[in-house]
A and B are shown apart, each in its own frame.
Chain A
Amino acid sequence: MTQHSIDTSPHVSDEVRKTTCYMCACRCGINVHLRDGKIRYIEGNRDHPVNQGVLCAKGSAGIMQHYAPSRLSTPMKRVGPRGAGEFEPISWEEALQTATDWLQPIRETDPAKLAFFTGRDQSQGLTGWWAQMFGTHNFAAHGGFCSVNMAAAGIYTMGGAFWEFGSPDWERTKLFMIFGVAEDHDSNPIKMGLSRLKEREAKIIAVNPVRTGYNAIADEWVPVTPGTDGLFVLALIHELMAAGKIDIDYLIRYTNAPWLVIKNPGGADDGLFARDKDGKALVWNRKTGKPTAYDKAGITPHMSGEITLPSGQTAVPAFQLMMDKYLDSKYAPEAVAQTTGISAEQIKQIAAQLAHVAFEEEITIDTPWTDWKGEKHDKMIGRPVSFHAMRGISAHSNGFQTCRAIHLLQILLGSVECPGGFRFKPTYPKPSTAHPKPGRGQGPGKTLSGPPLGYIQGPEDLLVDADGTPQRIDKAYSWDAPFSAHGMMHMVISNAYAGDPYPVDVLFMYMANMSWNSSMNSRGVMEMLEAKNDDGNYVIPKIIYSDAYDSEMVAYADLILPDTTYLERHDCISLLDRPICEPDTVADSIRWPVMEPDRDVRGFQSVLLDIGARLGLPGMVADDGSPKFADYADYIVNHERKPGIGPLAGFRGEDGTQSGRGAPNPEQLNKYIENGSFWSEELPEDARFFKHANQAYQDWAVKLGFYDAPQPVTFQLWLEPLAKFQLAAAGHGEHQPPDHLRSRIADHFDPLPDWYAPFEGEALEDGAYPLHAITQRPAAMYHSWGSQNAWLRQIHTTNPLYVPGPVCDEVGLVDDDWAYLRSHHGEIKVQIRRMEAVNSRTVWTWNAIGKRKGAWGLSKNAPETEKGFLLNHLIHELLPGSGEGLRWSNSDPITGQAAWYDLKVSIRKAEEGAGTSEPNFDAQKSTVTPGDSQLRYGQEW
């Protein structure tokens, strides 16, 4: 018999269109294969700087996302009560006019009555500018509940953050520590990087209460107790300092460790830097014994001791303060072991490994370079230790300080921006002082003074009234959370409902599932959205929402602006926003409609520009009052932030040959498409490391238009803006915090990285809630989106609560039992699974799997609603003990970052046999047509 013969070269596709994935925010390059007008296959683009050809599970399930039955198909207005999901289709004209009619009067009277909050927004360049032009400072994207601690700590300390703005030197690192990461936004690059480390047999240490995913493949696991990483890191610092295993030369060159800090306890200048008459910070020259401006080349400053300045002030190098603080025995490994759940022995071992790799396994690259002071170096010295950290660190009320502590440790080892260390991705680093300050409202009909989000430097920059009342609806940039660089989206609905600081008129949201998985206290939020005043009107009068799918939030909107899928619209991933660069490459990218929408939907950005033009917002209308931009594509190409600088940096100039700066190029989008929908440029050889201090890098950055003059960064180990707040708390200065916040600021705004116990646990009665409860992102799901995806939902149809073995034994739980999980705020019922590879006092689950009945085009008895659950019902947006006019937000006191992972719980077994998770809500009415039960996608081929 002969073997069956097959065609090994079947036709694959008629055409390949290259664009950018958006099944998550990693933004990989994809090749979309089309056949007979349908998507045949989506694969990674090998040439793309982000993913180099690989693709994750979500990206690979793009077909099912694109064709999901849950897609919205037409603009709608609400006809039933809020939350019920009863809608009536309307025309785009009616929808746009309704929005305009709601917004126009606000703009003319009080623009702040519009709260415009965007969730997983990749077009903040546009949306922020739109808010600025509208004149409302009530704008932010999701960063405030996501990872602002990470972003702000990074930018204030060293001009850039882990969070998308940097990465380990995967090719050279020999010891890598990863803190609190499950997936992260750099989803594919981290996996690719870990694989490179494995190939080189570099060591990976995972600091995480849970040992799954990346942590599962690490060589060493540190099963830290949630919220205590800061203490662990300070213990490492204690060990390294005590042993003299720190890079003093690096500290002198690149940090403010030698800067003189005024020592004047009780005085109005205590903790500020001693400065010369030009305002330049001073160091204490060892040779002359005199104070000298910090930027003078060729000097070696004192790092310890106390000096009396000509002004009569007493000052000490910041490093002296660091020694005073960190050599204290309270940071000794033995002293922190109990709290952190990490043995003193392991802490010491890790400190020894760090020191060994940093100083005994130094690497060099023989590329000469010149620093910003003009000093020449014949090679680049690398300390091949690198760190990465994300939400396990940032989603705590002590996250800002913890993240600062991690940066401090990196910097003490001399491993930031050196070969083998942590590296910035252009356009970072950029000092906090080079960022704008948050824009201020200028009254009716006026734009904001600047972009709504920015970086403050002291109490004078806060957005508060004279009496300290917050000006923003989310209370960002107020004494509650002064450094809230990303706003505090998690407080918007709660504050608007409470009218604290004031009520709003229109809540306008985009791409944020705020009535469900992206809010704390989801049930409470649903009630706030449904709440009516005595007059029968909703407390939050009007809600406009743009979503692409029938999410839980859709049911709560009054006006729905249906968006396209990511394959049907133009998008711009801009250097002005969160860029896709890699350490050696500057890059940006676009999406373009590789598929034509088959529904009456429009790209949100085009819709926003349309509304802007109808409102006559500056920059959005031409002189004759007509819309300035036909649509978002037109804006991407022709909008200029400054002359020559626009959303896209590639193919600029009339002929498309310029990068960074250049006149708009009408052919720009086509050039991008030809190039695989991205543009990238390699950094010059001598500009690749020490970017914060590297003249070649700085010059190149200016050339590309990241800034107009070089912006070298001196790493701020002693963070003076924090000292200013402590001074204000002590009563100094004209800007004074409300009394109820004084001690909180005094205690937590330590200018040196510090650790304090997370707030929620501290506010609770001892032992009542003995367990920590956290979530993790599953690799194959993106928040709530994945459940509508026929392939992905099979992988995570429900989410068990993983309970440590010892707790199971204590409580008498076995696999598949149901249990009640209780927090200070409420109780939920969940199904459990036993697990050993987890910190023994921590329970956890996958994030955002639980769904409300009726949402996402799923059947009402879908397991996501019957067995899936959200931890969010247990997390309150306010801290325990709030009340009597005080609403303490469950956030970091410095940045306002939502403290999701501070949650403390207790667990008990549920009665036998009961099988649905609680709470379980009434169904919302589906606004979409149910999908076919059986799918045979691709059968025709």
Chain B
Amino acid sequence: MHPASSVIFFTTASGAGFGIMSWLCVAILMGHYTLTPHTIVMGVIGLVLAGAGLLSSTLHLGNPQRAWRAVSQWRTSWLSREGILAVLTCLNFAGILALYLTSGVVLPWMAGSCLVLSLLTIIATAMIYAQIKPVPRWHTKLTVLCYLGFSTSTGMAVIASVSPTRYHVYLAFGGLVLAWVFKLLWWQRASRTSLSHDGSTTATATGLTGFSSVKLFEKPHMTQNYLMTEMVFEIGRKHAARLRQIALLAGGLLPFICLGLAIMTGQTAGFVMLSCVMHLIGVGVERWLFFAEAEHVVALYYGKS
């Protein structure tokens, strides 16, 4: 699939945003009923990230001026659900902040609903991809876990950079490990998941069964078309492997080491900030690969097998 930068930014940024909101709600629910200036900064960052992500997601639309229509089909469409949930989550969270700032009150039930909404938003985002059966590498619950994992890990990474408490650093550390466990599982599944994972082959795509091989002889058009640029994105095997290493290194190993150093040296602020930046970059690369490496079965009609 074509890795559109707006979509990569959207999923990464809004993922982190909702991750932050989720964590803050958890904190509230865990009894930290007061919001500090620190947490308010975090909350604002969360809202900004989520909002920027959502806005950027309209950049790849053919007709962004009609984007509002996208919230109408919650009964069937994960994209619609995501839009609605995202807005509700942001409103809910903004409500929490506003209430606190105006009256100093924090209502736990609001945090509870916000947490649920926020997690659902992340799930909805993930489901946009996980529901796509023609993309076998996406079509798995692991995709949802990965999105949840990276949302929480990036969310906590931001939180920890703003407020590098030991507690936050530990959580960031834990989130990082968990997210990468999911992602490694996802990658492992992906490596086993070919185009024909669900049984789709050039033979089933064309109905030309009973032959020893079926190969594309001529494309319908010699140059690229929308389907090819959008869904038959080609990325070299070597290139992909290199990028995976970078994603893992920048997004996992180096933040891991930084956080470890932070814990060991107590020089928290710098290391945590560094780890957060690297983690976000790494997740960006991971997201790029998430698209670039996802093969769509339509490629069977364009010479892939």
Q: Which residues of A contact B (CB under 8 A)?
A: 794-798, 835, 863
The answer to whether A798 and B222 touch across the interface, beta carbons within 8 angstroms, is: yes
- Chain B, residues 218-237, CB within 8 Å of chain A (1/0): the string is 00111100000000000000
The answer to whether A794 and B221 touch across the interface, beta carbons within 8 angstroms, is: yes
Which residue in chain A gives the minimum CB-CB distance to B75?
A: A1
14 pairs from A and B in contact (CB 8 Å cutoff): A794-B221, A794-B222, A794-B223, A795-B220, A795-B221, A795-B222, A796-B222, A797-B221, A797-B222, A797-B223, A798-B222, A835-B217, A863-B222, A863-B223
- Chain B, residues 121-155, CB within 8 Å of chain A (1/0): the string is 00000000000000000000000000000000000
Taking A794-B222, A795-B221 as given, write out 7 further A-B residue pairs in contact, using a Cβ cutoff of 8 Å, ordered by the A residue number: A794-B221, A795-B220, A796-B222, A797-B221, A797-B222, A798-B222, A863-B222
Give CA–CA (A794, B224) in the complex, Å: 9
Shortest CB-to-CB span from B72 to chain A, Å, is: 9
Give CA–CA (A123, B221) in the complex, Å: 35
Give CA–CA (A835, B215) in the complex, Å: 10
Give CA–CA (A869, B217) in the complex, Å: 19
Chain A positions within 8 Å of B220 at CB level: 795
Shortest CB-to-CB span from A288 to chain B, Å, is: 64
Which residues 151-207 of B have a CB within 8 angstroms of A? none
Chain B positions within 8 Å of A835 at CB level: 217
Chain A positions within 8 Å of B223 at CB level: 794, 797, 863
Give CA–CA (A797, B224) in the complex, Å: 11
Chain A positions within 8 Å of B217 at CB level: 835
Shortest CB-to-CB span from A736 to chain B, Å, is: 54
The 10 A-B pairs at the shortest CB distance, nearest first, are namely A797-B222, A794-B221, A797-B223, A798-B222, A795-B221, A796-B222, A794-B223, A863-B223, A863-B222, A795-B222
Give CA–CA (A588, B150) in the complex, Å: 74
Give CA–CA (A824, B217) in the complex, Å: 30
Which residue in chain B gives the minimum CB-CB distance to A868?
A: B222
Give CA–CA (A795, B222) in the complex, Å: 6
Which residue in chain A gives the minimum CB-CB distance to B221?
A: A794
Give CA–CA (A136, B279) in the complex, Å: 85
B: number of interface residues (CB 8 Å): 5
Query: Among the interface residues B220, B221, B222, B223, which one has the most CB atoms of the partner chain A within 10 A?
Result: B222
Chain A positions within 8 Å of B222 at CB level: 794-798, 863
Give CA–CA (A796, B222) in the complex, Å: 6
Give CA–CA (A796, B218) in the complex, Å: 10
Which residue in chain A gives the minimum CB-CB distance to B303?
A: A815
Which residue in chain B gives the minimum CB-CB distance to A798?
A: B222
Shortest CB-to-CB span from A916 to chain B, Å, is: 16
Shortest CB-to-CB span from B96 to chain A, Å, is: 34
Chain A positions within 8 Å of B221 at CB level: 794-795, 797
- Chain B, residues 223-253, CB within 8 Å of chain A (1/0): the string is 1000000000000000000000000000000
Give CA–CA (A38, B214) in the complex, Å: 44
Chain B positions within 8 Å of A795 at CB level: 220-222
Chain B positions within 8 Å of A796 at CB level: 222
Shortest CB-to-CB span from A846 to chain B, Å, is: 10
Chain B positions within 8 Å of A797 at CB level: 221-223
Chain B positions within 8 Å of A794 at CB level: 221-223
Give CA–CA (A794, B223) in the complex, Å: 7
Shortest CB-to-CB span from A3 to chain B, Å, is: 14
Which residue in chain B gives the minimum CB-CB distance to A212?
A: B217
Give CA–CA (A863, B224) in the complex, Å: 12
Which residue in chain B gives the minimum CB-CB distance to A849?
A: B222
Which residue in chain A gives the minimum CB-CB distance to B225?
A: A794
Which residue in chain A gives the minimum CB-CB distance to B213?
A: A836
Which residue in chain B gives the minimum CB-CB distance to A846?
A: B218
Give CA–CA (A222, B221) in the complex, Å: 29
Which residues 11-46 of B have a CB within 8 angstroms of A? none
Give CA–CA (A805, B243) in the complex, Å: 36
Give CA–CA (A796, B219) in the complex, Å: 10
Shortest CB-to-CB span from B288 to chain A, Å, is: 26
Give CA–CA (A795, B225) in the complex, Å: 11
Give CA–CA (A835, B218) in the complex, Å: 10
Which residue in chain B gives the minimum CB-CB distance to A1?
A: B72
Give CA–CA (A835, B221) in the complex, Å: 18
Which residue in chain A gives the minimum CB-CB distance to B222?
A: A797
Give CA–CA (A863, B222) in the complex, Å: 9
- Chain B, residues 252-292, CB within 8 Å of chain A (1/0): the string is 00000000000000000000000000000000000000000
Give CA–CA (A501, B220) in the complex, Å: 49
Which residue in chain B gives the minimum CB-CB distance to A802?
A: B217
Shortest CB-to-CB span from B99 to chain A, Å, is: 36
Shortest CB-to-CB span from B75 to chain A, Å, is: 9
Chain B positions within 8 Å of A798 at CB level: 222
Shortest CB-to-CB span from B216 to chain A, Å, is: 10
Give CA–CA (A212, B291) in the complex, Å: 37
Which residue in chain B gives the minimum CB-CB distance to A796?
A: B222
Shortest CB-to-CB span from A806 to chain B, Å, is: 16
Give CA–CA (A109, B218) in the complex, Å: 56
Shortest CB-to-CB span from B219 to chain A, Å, is: 9
Which residue in chain A gives the minimum CB-CB distance to B217?
A: A835
Shortest CB-to-CB span from B229 to chain A, Å, is: 14
Give CA–CA (A795, B218) in the complex, Å: 10
Shortest CB-to-CB span from A692 to chain B, Å, is: 42
Give CA–CA (A794, B220) in the complex, Å: 9
Give CA–CA (A796, B223) in the complex, Å: 9
Shortest CB-to-CB span from B246 to chain A, Å, is: 26
Which residue in chain A gives the minimum CB-CB distance to B73?
A: A1
Give CA–CA (A798, B224) in the complex, Å: 13
Shortest CB-to-CB span from B13 to chain A, Å, is: 32
Give CA–CA (A794, B217) in the complex, Å: 16
Give CA–CA (A755, B114) in the complex, Å: 88
Give CA–CA (A726, B221) in the complex, Å: 53
Shortest CB-to-CB span from B234 to chain A, Å, is: 13
Give CA–CA (A797, B219) in the complex, Å: 11
Shortest CB-to-CB span from A615 to chain B, Å, is: 47
Shortest CB-to-CB span from B121 to chain A, Å, is: 24
Query: Among the interface residues A794, A796, A797, A863, which one has the most CB atoms of the partner chain B within 10 A?
Result: A794
Give CA–CA (A795, B220) in the complex, Å: 6
Shortest CB-to-CB span from B109 to chain A, Å, is: 33
Shortest CB-to-CB span from B226 to chain A, Å, is: 12
Which residue in chain B gives the minimum CB-CB distance to A797?
A: B222
Give CA–CA (A798, B221) in the complex, Å: 10
Shortest CB-to-CB span from B261 to chain A, Å, is: 45
Shortest CB-to-CB span from A816 to chain B, Å, is: 11
Give CA–CA (A895, B186) in the complex, Å: 71
Give CA–CA (A794, B222) in the complex, Å: 6
Give CA–CA (A796, B220) in the complex, Å: 9
Shortest CB-to-CB span from B223 to chain A, Å, is: 5
Which residue in chain B gives the minimum CB-CB distance to A837?
A: B217
Shortest CB-to-CB span from A278 to chain B, Å, is: 61
Shortest CB-to-CB span from A57 to chain B, Å, is: 12
Shortest CB-to-CB span from A374 to chain B, Å, is: 57
Shortest CB-to-CB span from A831 to chain B, Å, is: 11
Shortest CB-to-CB span from A915 to chain B, Å, is: 15
Shortest CB-to-CB span from B165 to chain A, Å, is: 50
Query: Among the interface residues A795, A797, A863, which one has the most CB atoms of the partner chain B within 10 A?
Result: A795
Which residue in chain B gives the minimum CB-CB distance to A791?
A: B221
Shortest CB-to-CB span from B196 to chain A, Å, is: 21
Shortest CB-to-CB span from B62 to chain A, Å, is: 14
Give CA–CA (A835, B220) in the complex, Å: 17
Give CA–CA (A2, B221) in the complex, Å: 38
Which residue in chain A gives the minimum CB-CB distance to B220?
A: A795
Give CA–CA (A414, B46) in the complex, Å: 88
Give CA–CA (A451, B222) in the complex, Å: 46
Give CA–CA (A835, B216) in the complex, Å: 10
Shortest CB-to-CB span from B89 to chain A, Å, is: 25
Give CA–CA (A835, B223) in the complex, Å: 20
Give CA–CA (A795, B223) in the complex, Å: 8
Give CA–CA (A795, B219) in the complex, Å: 8
Shortest CB-to-CB span from A47 to chain B, Å, is: 32
Shortest CB-to-CB span from A823 to chain B, Å, is: 25
Give CA–CA (A863, B221) in the complex, Å: 13
Shortest CB-to-CB span from A291 to chain B, Å, is: 60
Shortest CB-to-CB span from B211 to chain A, Å, is: 11
